Structure 1
Amino acid sequence: MRSTRRWNACWRARKLRPSTSNPRRPMQTPSRANLLILASSQALMLSAIVLSMTLAAVLGAMLAPDRGLATLPVAAMVVGTAFASMPASMLMRRMGRRPGFLIGALLGIGGSLLCALGLYESDFAVFVGGNFLLGSYQGFANYYRFAAVEAAGPARAGKAISMVVAGGVVAAFLGPQLGVWGRDWVAGQIFVGSYLAQAGLSLVAFALLLLLRLPPEAQQDTGHARPLADILRQPVLGVAIFGAAIGYAVMIMVMTATPLAILGCGLPESDVAPVIQWHVVGMFAPSFFTGALIARFGAPRVMQAGFVLLLGHVALVLSGVEFLHFLSGLVLLGVGWNFAFIGGTTLLTQSYRPAERLKVQAVNEFAVFGFAALATLSAGWLYDRFGWAVLNVAVIPLLLAALLAAIAIERQFRRAALAT
């Protein structure tokens, strides 16, 4: 009788144990499924954002009462990102990641439809408002990369962040292509169809995010949380935020003005889309190996490489105003941003405890995108008043300051390692 009970218990345990008999079909872990959902949602969100980045400045010049306001729609998008970052974090702290991400996708749908309405009615204010909502969508979606760290664990933070950010490679092709495909979908209304297609991207992202399964917030906020003032006094946190903010601000300011500069230098409108497209490839394609570089050389060293590449972009675009100058310079701008931004984000994850993560992430997002919003707002004015060359020269002091800060924190890490 006893042996029968033991045999039955073993049989039940065997039935409950996952099968590993077929090595060619490994069982997908929840963390991997979550990472795939987050990477796919990132690709869809960024496709919508890249579509707007490609079109918004040119359409803004058509709709705006003053050419100096041509980049206001792009600036409104970045302001929307900064504006939403704090509320998004607080909402996710109360309700969890998934409800926050779903709200963000709904904002993306509403923003796209509002942009389409603004174009249909030739109403600049409505068009700007739609871009603000699209930016708010990005403000919620920017937490995808932090959710990826929570799904994969701190030890794989760099690779998890890189995997999610790499979803932007799809955006490099899908976003501009949707702009071209939808250009004449609505008869007599240029690019209205493009924004309707953009709403479809956000709808697909909403459906995907319904499948997301992350640990409850209460299970992750473990341990003691320090006062925010004490956390912010850490040099490593300051360098992480400052470096990511400078990298993002420089990238977005130059990218915003690029379509205007291409047209202003007498190049055809057809040159805008490939330049932006390959710039976005430069932004996200390195993500396939940025995590490995960070694991080998450390986040500060990768950030330094990013700022050097961004300075190289300035040298390239100042050397001429032909198509190849714009193309090669913007690719370098994208790669430099990737190293600076992912390196800064990874460095940020090393500065807080689990119980502090949401408030530190919120401060980081607000600082990075607030600074980026100022840069975007100044892009149209700088280009209109002083031209393309001055706009690029203006970023050199910021890049040098960020480079020196990354070098300083790397030396601090090295001294600490030697001391231990």
Structure 2
Amino acid sequence: MGPPCKSLGPVTIISEGPFRRPSAGKRRGRREQRAPLQEGGGSAAVDQEETSQPEGEGERRARRNALVLAIAQGLYFIGATVLISLGALTGHLLAQDKSLATLPVTTYVLGTLVATIPASHMMRHLGRRTGFQIGALFAVAGTSLAVHAIFERAFWLFCAATLLLGAYQACAQYYRFAAADTASEAFKPKAISWVLAGGLVAALIAPQIVIYTKDAFAPVLFAGSFAAAGVAALLAIGVLAFLDIPRLPAQQAGGRQSRPLLEILRQPRLRIAILTGMVSYASMTFVMTATPLAMVACNHSVDSATLAIQWHVVAMFAPSFFTGHLIARLGREMVILTGLLMLGAAGLVALSGLSAVHFTLALVLLGVGWNFGYIGSTTMVTDCHRPEERNKVQALNEFMVFSLVASASFASGYVLHNRGWEVVAFVYLPFVALAAGLVLMLHLGARRSIAAG
């Protein structure tokens, strides 16, 4: 089982070769629950009908956009997987103070946080396609700088590189919202799921890219993997050229103005949706960031840690093929609750042992829990704003989510180094329980309203 992982201490990076349907009444109730009417304006679904094209053409456009964004998501997550797998390990190699090993992952998330609102404004003025392509250019610059920093053994330069990569992630986080821009109310959850399902490509390919390229510039470890991530970003720029999403005016043709953000936030449903997205993503990041370091500290190899991350990424995105159907059948809240329960179960598994199986199973539960919680909360967010309000509401959501994610990624390395793996596996659980309680209250309240109405 290996020694207790209280303190990492000096870690030797081991390099191995490649591894050898309900009633109509219930459906109406759920549709009412998903699209609540707001005082002074209709639901997002009503607004979308007002601005939609003929059904056949609009449906084809929505499906084509979802496919393009799914491919772009896969290419983006190749780079993200490289950073997830190797960011903390590279930081450990380059940093003199080993407690700063996860700082490159933190600067990656910080780059996302800083760029989230500017990215939304950029897309508002330039359009989704151009904004996404500019984001991919940041990845090309970031991976190039990362390769240079690794060769120079420059820890702070490597942190600057991951900061640039975070700007790419800030733009890519809008892929799922962009898929909903042209989708009908019925197709919206599936469009979001399609996009996240694109990450399954990364789950299957990226870890093998890491394994086969990490020694490409031997004896300099890991530089080849970041170079490969840069190539994936270049391919994403070409794929995104096929995206077709029209820009929306700030004021609709009917003369209705976008509501102030504080007015939109008066909806309890929106506040809980944002909170559950924050908890789902931050919990996943907190445990995932520490896992490769903890595995190496417990005498598992880098390749074993990479395979554990591979199963984690598979678990993050493989459920996306049916998460949209589950949301349509069971409702947003039940899917989110299931995800939060899985996030909690991941911590319990992590506490039960230190074998590679325990680490991998915890990461699998963590990935599926993230998928249900994140897609469910994203769909809830899109229920709570009109089309002309999408940029500011989505920007606020992303800013809030990555504020907590940045804190979680930095705290992960500190807690692991100073308190040990057991504390990492336990300390996030109260936040998961709080989010689950709020979602359950929302769900029960909506059921009572439907029964009374």
Is the TM-score greater than 0.5? yes
Q: In the alignment, what sits opposite 1:314?
A: 347
Counterpart position of 2:153:
122
Query: Which amino acid in structure 2 is aligned with residue 143 of structure 1?
Result: Y
Corresponding residue of 2:117? 86
- After superposition, where does 1:182-197 map in structure 2 within 5 Å? 182-197=213-228
> Which residue does the alignment assign to 2:319?
286
CA shift for structure 1 position 144: 0.7
Please give the alpha-carbon distance, in whole angstroms, between the structure 1 residues aligned to 2:109 and 2:231.
21
Q: Does 1:206 align with 2:237?
A: yes
Amino acid at match of 2:376: G
Aligned match for 1:140, one of 171, 179, 186: 171
What is the percent sequence identity of the aligned residues? 44
Letter in 2 for 1:338: N
- CA–CA separation in structure 1 for the residues paired with 2:389 and 2:61: 24
Aligned pair count reads: 395
- Counterpart Cα distance in 2 of 1:109 and 1:176: 19
Kindly indicate whether residue 206 of structure 2 is the aligned counterpart of residue 175 of structure 1: yes
What secondary structure, in the 3-state scheme, does the structure 2 residue paired with 1:154 have?
coil
- Work out whether residues 96 and 217 of structure 1, in 8 Å CA contact, stay in contact via their aligned partners in 2: no
1:220 Cα deviation from its structure 2 partner: 9.0
How far has the Cα of 1:221 moved from its partner?
5.5
Of the three residues 128, 133, 142, the one matched with 1:111 is: 142
Larger deviation: 179-188 or 211-220? 211-220
RMSD: 1.6
One-letter amino acid matched to 1:85: T
Residues 50 and 175 in structure 1, CA contact (< 8 A), matched pair in contact too: yes
Q: Which of residues 314, 332, 348 is equivalent to 2:381?
A: 348
Aligned-partner Cα distance in 1 for 2:208–2:283:
25
How far residue 417 of structure 1 moved from its aligned partner, in angstroms, is 1.7
Aligned to 1:277: 310
> Are 2:345 and 2:365, in contact at CA under 8 Å, matched by a contact in 1?
yes
Match of 2:88 in 1: 57
Do residues 233 (structure 1) and 257 (structure 2) align?
Answer: no
- Give the match's secondary structure for 2:249: helix
Residues 133 and 272 of structure 1: is their aligned pair in 2 closer, same or farther, counting only changes over 3 Å? same
Looking at structure 1, the residues matched to 85 and 197 of structure 2 have their Cα atoms a distance apart, in angstroms, of: 19
Write the letter of the residue equivalent to 2:366. Answer: L
* Corresponding residue to 2:132 among 96, 101, 119: 101
In the alignment, does 2:412 pair up with 1:379?
yes
Kept after mapping to 2: 8 A contact 1:282/1:335: yes
Higher relative contact order (CA 8 A, sep 6+): 2
Cα–Cα, structure 1 residues 293 and 173, in superposed 2: closer, same or farther, change >3 Å? same
| Letter of the structure 2 residue corresponding to residue 63 of structure 1 | L
CA change 1:31–1:220 in 2 (3 A) is farther
Whole-angstrom CA distance in 1 between matches of 2:273 and 2:387? 17
Residues in 2 aligned to 1:242 and 1:200: alpha-carbon distance in whole angstroms: 35
Q: In structure 2, what is the Cα distance between the partners aligned to 1:381 and 1:187? A: 30
Q: Which amino acid aligns with 1:392?
A: A
Deviation for aligned residue 1:186? 2.3
- Pair 1:365 & 2:420 matched: no
Q: Could you tell me whether the CA contact under 8 Å between 1:221 and 1:356 is conserved in 2? A: no
Query: Runs of 5+ in structure 1 lacking a partner?
Result: 1-27
Shift of 1:386: 0.3
Aligned twin of 1:7 = none
The residue matched to 2:217 in structure 1 has which SS?
coil
After TM superposition, give the deviation of residue 154 of structure 1 in Å: 2.8
**Is residue 132–residue 171 contact of structure 2 (8 Å, CA) maintained in 1?**
yes
Distance 1:273 1:216 in 2: 40
Give the equivalent residue in structure 1 for 2:279.
246
Cα displacement string for residues 168-227 of structure 1 (whole angstroms, at most 9, x for unaligned residues) = 111112222211221222243222121111100000000111121112323995643211
- TM-score normalised by structure 2 residue count: 0.85
Q: Kindly indicate whether the alpha-carbon contact (under 8 Å) linking 1:236 and 1:347 is maintained by their aligned counterparts in 2.
A: yes
Q: Is the 8 A contact 2:132 2:172 kept in 1?
A: yes
- Kept in 2, the 8 Å contact 1:278–1:327? The answer is yes
TM-score, scaled relative to structure 1: 0.91
Is the 2:248–2:388 contact (alpha carbons within 8 Å) kept by the matching residues of 1?
Answer: no
- The structural deviation recorded for 1:112 is 0.7
Equivalent residue, structure 2, for 1:131 = 162
